[in-house]
Chains A and B, each alone.
Chain A
């Protein structure tokens, strides 16, 4: 094992440490600040990759902070699934950060950029923590950190709209955390444990004594994580927040942050609540139907939008629903589909927000109807948009198809073809709102009228990376899928 044992905690610590030093660096050695965050992210990425290799060889292991064993000590768990999510989180953050380097100067005041680095590192660190932790209280703390830093990277833009949106987000998010804390209290009262593994065992017995408490806790968890992950109908904060934020923040929030909460809900369902509880109350069923509704309504709302970023934000609501479906089906194939979608959608949506960012950067246009003919002046950008939307729709050759494939397959496995129809219908809706933009961008007869600033090469590079990955996910998905199948098999 050697030094790798400490990697889980080091990943989190490195990010938090970077968060502390980056404003200082920004103040006194401005040139070093961005490289510092970058190198922290790269280091975290390397550690996560090393851990994954390690875990694949030796199996899941637990890390006890300070050597204190649970139930009292803080425990981190490193299993293939968590490390997969961690890897996605860190690599996508790294990618978005590279993009942000160029875009931030345009949207933010120079003074606050150092703080942005701090918030960004805190956000990444807390997400990594949420993924790795194996303890409810720890999860609560990290969720708070995550929520606050997420609000802050919206409101850092300091205009009216952003403040309003982030305030809305803050309130709802606080409600979510409140619900979560209440749920945790219920479980603690019933069992006396906070550690996932211990809870899992203790709940089987406690369920006989305190069924109501445990029901309530489960309900509270759904509300808590549903709010934070924008599960329909708890999504109301998302469109404003994601649309008004600076583009790198939107990419981050839509691409990663909401998924982390979906993943946390998954952990609750599969690692905290034992089967007995889940069989007694149709929790998965509720999640499933909400997800089905969400995938429809997200798309329908998206159709009505006139602002490009708002549309993308609503589309996220539709897409996160697929992930919830993956959780709700309670089948290993569905998990593969759902988690594959976490990765695909993280990359796709982040790229689409980058595209939106580039369009705003170089032309200042935000409205969809003003994008006519823009494909001629920003070809790379709009090709990226095209590929991104193809992946959203699930056109073969893009990653979106693979996740839909698995979700649909598992819907059939559990004998509910109706959900295949839901998936297909929502794909069709996606097509209906994404395609006209693409068509208009390339095929419109009028020339694009606005003045166009050239797109910096770094931004173009980031978009090209996104496109390449989306296509790789579509064709060479086998290694990831195999990994996920192994990981999902652990839960059944």
Chain B
């Protein structure tokens, strides 16, 4: 019910900023209002109408969808608030806001979809609409990145379509509410699994399908990059979770060994993403590559398929959403204020924009996995999961990639605070005193970043916070056979 209302209020949206924020807020509140219901173990499966016999648009609400929908709408709310100032300088706001809100709508649609077909419909809708966010700048570079994004999206969509057809053919239904659809392994089922892997993995930036991501994310306006990286990538992971637990079953995948495909790709994704991030000179590109490797963690967690690992994966969806949005928003604030994008130019920026860089540092540290930030907790849980599965190798992978994270984030953070601006932008920096020449972003942007940074603290400080226990509950719920 609620998702339906939410969706309709989205579709009729008009363009004014306040209205956009209000819609995002309403969405968030409505989603939150489902909390009691969901935690009590409730589920809704609601059929809207049948498109074809046995093929309908339906809505579904359970713990997993609630988690992601709440997360998405929260980040969205903050990013919309942030956008108000950020976009004030930009053109074509009349296009930007409706698209932003529409994407939120389809994103919620993905999370609340009751069957693969509606999931697919909303997934495509979101991906295609997000194209407009990607190419917002309309520069040559943006258009090129956008085209790559579009082609990849369509390939992914077709792969999903293929996978879905196979599932429908083999199982006679694509509903997520009937439990496991495919029980037996066969060549077609493997094909379907691979198709889903391509379709959703594409979105999640999985190697070797990540090529669109580092181009597309940096060229979008910063709040949009935050959303693309922070939330929309997660829809791919979400789709994979649904496929693994509701179409196939974990036991079956393990028996057939198909989860190893995912695991290998995830490991490559993690290491490759971090390694390439090292070589980037543009701050947003570096962040984008970092997203690739972080999503690798989620996929790795999924491929291990035990309680701790799934908890870690779901929790990492949370923590990465927070961390990466801070990073992109902070980068956005810097670009907005100073126009600097190249990392080497950011020396001393911490003195100019201490709060922004403060938040950036918190998030960067969280990325590296320094306790007591949330990144630590997710890595810890993932590592526990890996050990439970007798896979110490994965722990090593996690550690190596943390090291790489440190290698590429710290060189941004440390010079930002402790080195002098190398350029002649500022004339009064001759002495080595800490001299603050504060030229911050607007309070609204700062508030958003501070709120997010606080959350990384809160979620990391203790393993008993809401997000973590939700993640834990979700993992149990999924492993207990999911749909029932």
Q: Point out residues on A near B: beta carbons under 8 Å.
A: 393-397, 401-402, 404-405, 408-409, 412-413, 417, 420-421, 424, 427-428, 431-432, 435-436, 439, 443, 445, 474-478, 481-482, 485
Q: Point out residues on B near A: beta carbons under 8 Å.
A: 49-53, 55, 57, 117, 120-121, 124-125, 128, 135, 138, 143, 146-147, 150-151, 154-155, 157-159, 161-162, 165-166, 168-169, 188, 191
Residues of B near A396 (CB, < 8 A) are 117, 120-121, 124-125, 157
Give Cα distance in the complex from A2 to B174, angstroms: 46
Q: Which of A408, A428, A475, A476 contacts B155 (CB 8 A)?
A: A428
Q: Which B residue sits closest to A475, measured CB to CB? A: B51
Is A428 in contact with B165, judged by CB distance below 8 angstroms? no
Query: Which of B50, B124, B138, B157 is the most central at the interface, judged by chain A CB atoms within 10 Å of its CB?
Result: B157
Given contacts A396-B120, A424-B162, contact A477 B51 (CB under 8 A): yes
Q: Which B residue sits closest to A430, measured CB to CB? A: B154
Give Cα distance in the complex from A404 to B55, angstroms: 14
Give Cα distance in the complex from A300 to B249, angstroms: 41
Residues of A near B57 (CB, < 8 A) are 475
Q: Which A residue sits closest to B191, measured CB to CB? A: A417
Is B158 in contact with A424, judged by CB distance below 8 angstroms? yes
Q: Which B residue sits closest to A336, measured CB to CB? A: B52
Q: Which of B50, B52, B125, B155 contacts A405 (CB 8 A)?
A: B52
Is A397 in contact with B162, judged by CB distance below 8 angstroms? no
Q: Which of B49, B121, B158, B191 contacts A476 (CB 8 A)?
A: B49
Is B135 in contact with A443, judged by CB distance below 8 angstroms? yes
Give Cα distance in the complex from A178 to B463, angstroms: 82
Is B52 in contact with A408, judged by CB distance below 8 angstroms? no
Is B161 in contact with A408, judged by CB distance below 8 angstroms? yes
A254 CB to closest chain B CB (Å) equals 24
Q: Which A residue sits closest to B155, measured CB to CB? A: A428
Is A431 in contact with B154, judged by CB distance below 8 angstroms? yes
Give Cα distance in the complex from A475 to B124, angstroms: 15
Given contacts A405-B52, A476-B51, A477-B51, contact A413 B169 (CB under 8 A): yes
Give Cα distance in the complex from A326 to B99, angstroms: 37
Is B143 in contact with A439, judged by CB distance below 8 angstroms? yes
Is A402 in contact with B51, judged by CB distance below 8 angstroms? yes
CB-defined A-B contacts under 8 Å, sample of 25 = A395-B128, A397-B125, A402-B51, A405-B161, A405-B165, A408-B162, A408-B165, A409-B169, A412-B169, A413-B169, A417-B191, A424-B161, A427-B154, A432-B151, A435-B147, A435-B150, A435-B154, A439-B135, A443-B138, A475-B57, A476-B49, A476-B51, A477-B51, A477-B52, A478-B51
Give Cα distance in the complex from A71 to B126, angstroms: 59
Q: Which B residue sits closest to A478, measured CB to CB? A: B50
Is A395 in contact with B157, judged by CB distance below 8 angstroms? yes
Give Cα distance in the complex from A335 to B146, angstroms: 37
Q: Which of A397, A424, A485 contacts B53 (CB 8 A)?
A: A485
Is A436 in contact with B147, judged by CB distance below 8 angstroms? yes
Residues of B near A420 (CB, < 8 A) are 162, 165
Given contacts A428-B154, A475-B51, contact A395 B147 (CB under 8 A): no
Is B165 in contact with A412, judged by CB distance below 8 angstroms? yes
Is A412 in contact with B188, judged by CB distance below 8 angstroms? yes
With contacts A409-B168, A435-B151, A439-B147 known, what are 11 further pairs, Cβ within 8 A? A396-B120, A396-B121, A397-B125, A408-B161, A408-B162, A412-B165, A412-B188, A417-B188, A424-B158, A443-B138, A475-B49
Query: Which of B53, B57, B161, B188 is the most central at the interface, judged by chain A CB atoms within 10 Å of its CB?
Result: B161
B51 CB to closest chain A CB (Å) equals 6
Q: Which B residue sits closest to A435, measured CB to CB? A: B150
Is A427 in contact with B150, judged by CB distance below 8 angstroms? no
B348 CB to closest chain A CB (Å) equals 35
Give Cα distance in the complex from A441 to B191, angstroms: 37
Residues of A near B162 (CB, < 8 A) are 408, 420-421, 424
Give Cα distance in the complex from A421 to B165, angstroms: 12
A interface secondary structure, majority: helix
Is B52 in contact with A397, judged by CB distance below 8 angstroms? no
Give Cα distance in the complex from A428 to B158, angstroms: 8
Is A394 in contact with B161, judged by CB distance below 8 angstroms? yes
Q: Which B residue sits closest to A397, measured CB to CB? A: B121
B106 CB to closest chain A CB (Å) equals 10
A33 CB to closest chain B CB (Å) equals 42
Is B147 in contact with A478, judged by CB distance below 8 angstroms? no
B118 CB to closest chain A CB (Å) equals 9
Residues of A near B117 (CB, < 8 A) are 396
Is A443 in contact with B143, judged by CB distance below 8 angstroms? yes
- 8 smallest CB-CB distances across A and B, nearest first, come from A396-B121, A412-B169, A424-B158, A431-B154, A408-B165, A396-B124, A478-B50, A481-B52
Residues of A near B52 (CB, < 8 A) are 402, 405, 477-478, 481
A248 CB to closest chain B CB (Å) equals 31
Residues of B near A481 (CB, < 8 A) are 52-53
Give Cα distance in the complex from A420 to B138, angstroms: 36
Residues of A near B166 (CB, < 8 A) are 412, 417
Is A482 in contact with B53, judged by CB distance below 8 angstroms? yes
Residues of B near A485 (CB, < 8 A) are 53
Residues of B near A402 (CB, < 8 A) are 51-52
Give Cα distance in the complex from A423 to B65, angstroms: 32
Q: Which B residue sits closest to A404, measured CB to CB? A: B161
Query: Which of B50, B120, B158, B168 is the most central at the interface, judged by chain A CB atoms within 10 Å of its CB?
Result: B158
Q: Which A residue sits closest to B164, measured CB to CB? A: A405
B134 CB to closest chain A CB (Å) equals 11
Give Cα distance in the complex from A475 to B56, angstroms: 9
A266 CB to closest chain B CB (Å) equals 22
Q: Which A residue sits closest to B166, measured CB to CB? A: A412
Is B158 in contact with A427, judged by CB distance below 8 angstroms? yes
Q: Which B residue sits closest to A436, measured CB to CB? A: B147
Is A409 in contact with B165, judged by CB distance below 8 angstroms? yes
Give Cα distance in the complex from A153 to B38, angstroms: 64
Give Cα distance in the complex from A424 to B188, angstroms: 16
Give Cα distance in the complex from A1 to B125, angstroms: 48
Q: Which B residue sits closest to A480, measured CB to CB? A: B52
Is B146 in contact with A439, judged by CB distance below 8 angstroms? yes
Query: Which of A396, A421, A475 is the most central at the interface, judged by chain B CB atoms within 10 Å of its CB?
Result: A396
Q: Which B residue sits closest to A390, measured CB to CB? A: B128
Give Cα distance in the complex from A361 to B57, angstroms: 40
Residues of B near A417 (CB, < 8 A) are 166, 188, 191
Residues of A near B159 (CB, < 8 A) are 424
Give Cα distance in the complex from A356 to B143, angstroms: 24
Q: Which A residue sits closest to B55, measured CB to CB? A: A405
Q: Which A residue sits closest to B135, measured CB to CB? A: A443
A421 CB to closest chain B CB (Å) equals 8
Give Cα distance in the complex from A192 to B169, angstroms: 44
Residues of A near B151 (CB, < 8 A) are 431-432, 435
Residues of B near A439 (CB, < 8 A) are 135, 143, 146-147, 150
Give Cα distance in the complex from A417 to B188, angstroms: 9
Give Cα distance in the complex from A349 to B436, angstroms: 64
A25 CB to closest chain B CB (Å) equals 45
Give Cα distance in the complex from A394 to B117, angstroms: 14
Give Cα distance in the complex from A396 to B153, angstroms: 13
Q: Which B residue sits closest to A425, measured CB to CB? A: B158
A62 CB to closest chain B CB (Å) equals 30
A413 CB to closest chain B CB (Å) equals 7
Residues of A near B158 (CB, < 8 A) are 394, 424, 427-428
A72 CB to closest chain B CB (Å) equals 43
A342 CB to closest chain B CB (Å) equals 17
Q: Which of A394, A424, A445, A482 contacts B138 (CB 8 A)?
A: A445
Give Cα distance in the complex from A237 to B51, angstroms: 38
Residues of A near B138 (CB, < 8 A) are 443, 445
Q: Which B residue sits closest to A424, measured CB to CB? A: B158
Q: Which B residue sits closest to A394, measured CB to CB? A: B161
Give Cα distance in the complex from A401 to B125, angstroms: 13
Give Cα distance in the complex from A420 to B165, angstroms: 9
